[in-house]
Amino acid sequence: MLAWDDYYDSWTPDRHRERVYHTKNFNTEEICVYHGSQETYDHLPIKKILIANIDQEITYKELKSTFSIYGEIVDCILKKKSGKKKSYAFITYDCDSEAQSALDAGYKKEIRLNNDWVRVIPAASWNQPDSIENQARKTKHLNEEESKDISIYNIIVTDENKDTIHVLNNDCLMHIFMYLPIADRVRIERVCKRWKAICEEFWRCNKKLDLKPITWGLSEQIKAHHVYKVLHKYGTYISNIDLSNNENTIGNATLISIAKLCPNVQTVNIKGLKHSSSGIKALADNCINIKKLIISLSDGQNFTNKGKYSNTPTANDTYIKEISRLFSKNRELQYLDLNCDRLNVIEFLLCLPVKSVKKLILRNISYFYISDVCTVLQKLQLQLLSINNIPPNSSIIDAIMPSAKNLKILQIPGYKCFNPSDERIQSLSFDLTRICEFNNLTVLNLKNNYYVDDDFLIKLSDKCKLLLKINIGFCHYMTNKGLKCVTTLPKLQVLLIDGIKNISDEVLTNIPELQTLSCTLCDNIHYAGLTTLITTSEKLKNLYVCFCKLITNDFLDAALEATKYRKNTVLTVFVYGTRITKFTESSFLKIYKYDELPMDECELFEHEEI
């Protein structure tokens, strides 16, 4: 019986090491089945043989002369061992029938060298002349480094393998592997060396790891040991890590593993990941090339020796100290998304690299620390600024005035608990019109802001002609007068006017460059103006009319007629909560009737980047 898992690896040097199968019983008939085959187990013709048990006194000339009687020898390599150890040799014949003759003679013990029987067996499959590796080595006009890659990757199509997946080149295989989940991609590495190399090349090109179930393809929850295995194999290639979708199955230990196994990481998202000062310390010690960091201080917990959370002043001071050190060591940090959790963040914001930070998102800043934050903003030259969930304050606008020429994206949505009748709020001075001085703005988000009125919108549309996207939803003090001025912006592509009671569809008739319009919860939006908009705005892709009471089946009939003559752009209408009862579609009109909106549109302004 053949012992296929046993190899003679120890007696050959690394450069010419051969994996040679041996048999436990040479007298059985089963050996003839293996010996009589002229092909390897993967259907390659046997042209190269291995001769073992050669006496030290045998010369190259004697060896070649002895085996040349069986056929024309293309190549002969004799390797002598030091001391009293036997030598070995590799001989390559011109055709497989000649090699088979030598194998038959060796099996019948007809070959002697210096009165010693020699052992003649086929060379390993991957070392045969017609193997993938050897064919690639013969490729000309490539330098030495390229030849190494080709020896693993390239494939020569022959009659034996023309019907197999091996005929596909590396780019095709990598494209196929791209659609496989991580679990399957790890499994297929065991198929052959070529597939393993292609999988490694995929990680070199992809460089991204997240925790989405569809990415992993596991039947169970993604846990820390799953992430560790992937990081251990490919951590040096990964530069983008997103651990935000962790479902509390991984924690601080995973962050430490990332810090130690991914020294080249540049994008880190640990929002929602429970971590401690030790995880931040490991990140600061090992990762100094971070360019994008998303972190929530509310998830930054400190552990005691018993594994419980500790919020003592000493523990919090240690955590803040490590955050400050992380910011100070990453001098190329460009993007920071920080959930402040109403903590005093001035200590580590002062450690930010002033010259490199261009995009800053601050969430849940306490009103008591706004003046300190403004001190930091005055030093930065920002292209993106987003400050969420704060009361209105003119000091923020004043602080970012030095960035007026560079600022392209500004997001200052209104305070959720904001009440305009509150005496404390009325005492604040908030001159919103100063935003109009940012002439290079392309994205503006002022959602739920009571200071947005018609006068402001008239001035904004006159000064900021480069605006592409604007969100003025739930700004209840604006009317059709201000909205009409907004629609005159020459490059406007996205307009969000959700929840405004004082506007109608009369001014939404001609916005040539518009691609997305959201007017959900608008009671006075009728189908007449929207139908005209669909006809005149051929680039319109997404229309949100959810919970608009005046949208009925008549609108759907008019939309079908308006899109009849479209040539390229498909219009998707989101109609959940309307009075539409029939859902007739066409080639250029799709109806979305469910309450769950696509994530990319729901968070259009939430994750906006330049």
Of the chain, the percentage scoring pLDDT greater than 90 comes to 30
* DSSP assignment of 386-436: EEES----HHHHHHTGGGTTT--EEE-PPPTT--TT-HHHHTS---GGGGG
Most confidently predicted of 149-163, 389-403, 418-432, 573-587: 573-587
Cβ atoms 446, 440 nearer than 8 A: no
Digit-coded pLDDT (tens) for 198-239: 888 888 888 889 888 888 888 888 888 888 888 888 888 899
**Identity of residue 371:** S
Mean predicted confidence (pLDDT) in 595-603: 49
Is residue 431 within 8 A of residue 456, CB to CB? The reply is: no
Measure Cα distances from 1 to 28, 30, 120, 302 in Å: 8, 7, 19, 61
470 bridge partner residues: 444, 495
On the CB side of 43, CA atoms within 13 Å amount to 9
* Cβ burial 68-86 (10 Å sphere, 16+ → b, else e): eebbebeebebebeeeeeb
User: Are β-strands 112-113 and 116-117 bridged in parallel, bridged antiparallel, or unpaired?
Assistant: antiparallel
The band of 405, judged by pLDDT with boundaries at 50, 70 and 90, is confident
Cα–Cα distance for residue pair 317/338, rounded to 1 Å: 18
Contacts 24+ apart (CB under 8 A), 362-365: 362/338, 362/386, 362/387, 362/388, 363/337, 363/338, 363/339, 363/388, 363/389, 364/339, 364/340, 364/388, 364/389, 365/340, 365/389, 365/390
Contact 283, 325 (CB under 8 A): no
pTM: 0.67
User: Is the per-residue pLDDT at 7 higher than 80?
Assistant: no
Give, in degrees to the nearest 5, the angle at Cα 292 between 288 and 294. 110
> Distance (Å, rounded) from C-alpha 97 to C-alpha 180?
42
What does the pLDDT read at residue 399? 84
φ/ψ region of 364 (left if φ > 0, alpha if ψ in -120 to 50, else beta) reads: left
Contact predicate 287/268, CB 8 Å: yes
Q: Output the CA torsion sign for 481, 483, 486, 490.
A: negative
- For residue 248, the Cα-to-chain-centroid distance in whole angstroms is 21
What gap in Å lies between CA 589 and CA 469, rounded to an integer? 23
Query: Per-residue pLDDT for 244 more than 80?
Result: yes
Residue 305 has, within 13 A of its CA and on its CB side, a CA count of: 0
CA-CA distance, 285 to 325, in Å (whole number)?
A: 9
Query: What angle, rounded to 10 degrees, do the helices at 144-153 and 193-206 form?
Result: 120
pLDDT, residue 134, reads: 67
- H/E element, 370: helix 370-377
For residue 544, what are its two tokens? Answer: 């949100």
Cα-Cα-Cα-Cα dihedral sign, residues 150, 151, 154, 158: positive
Residue with tokens 């399957």: 184
Name the amino acid, one letter, at 195.
Answer: W
- Give the pLDDT confidence score for residue 296 in this predicted structure: 86
**Closest among 19, 87, 80 to 51, alpha carbons compared:** 87
What average pLDDT does range 12-24 have in this prediction? 36
CB 543 within 8 A of CB 534: yes
Q: How far apart are CA 523 and CA 504, in angstroms?
A: 8
Number of neighbours of residue 187 by Cβ within 10 angstroms: 11
325 φ, ψ to 5°?
-70, -35
Q: What is the residue-averaged pLDDT of the chain?
A: 79
Closest CA to 226 of 210, 202, 239: 210
Could you give the CA distance from residue 253 to residue 225 in angstroms, rounded to a whole number?
A: 10
Q: What is the mean pLDDT of residues 97-101?
A: 91
* Residue labelled with tokens 């004799």: 78
- Write out the DSSP string of 314-351: HHHHHHHHHHHHHHHH-TT--EEEEE-TT---HHHHTT
pLDDT in tens, 149-208: 444 444 444 444 455 777 788 888 888 888 899 888 888 888 888 888 888 888 888 888
- Bridge partners of 209, per DSSP, are 241
Taking CB atoms within 8 Å and a gap of at least 24, the contacts of 481-488 are 481/454, 482/453, 482/454, 482/455, 482/456, 482/457, 482/458, 483/457, 483/507, 483/508, 485/454, 485/457, 485/458, 485/460, 485/461, 486/457, 486/460, 486/461, 487/511, 488/461
User: 444, exposed or middle or buried, with CB in 10 Å at 0-12, 13-18, 19+?
Assistant: buried
Q: Going by DSSP bridges, is the β-strand pair 73-79/87-93 parallel, antiparallel, or unpaired?
A: antiparallel
Reported as type and span, the H/E element at residue 241 is: strand 240-242
Q: Is the predicted pLDDT of residue 398 greater than 90, yes or no? A: no
3-state secondary structure of 57: coil
Least confident of 363-372, 452-461, 531-540: 363-372
Q: Which residue type sits at 47?
A: K
User: Which residues are within 8 A (CB) of 557 and not within 5 positions of it... i.e. 6 or more apart?
Assistant: none
Query: Predicted confidence band at 15 (pLDDT cuts at 50, 70, 90)?
Result: very low
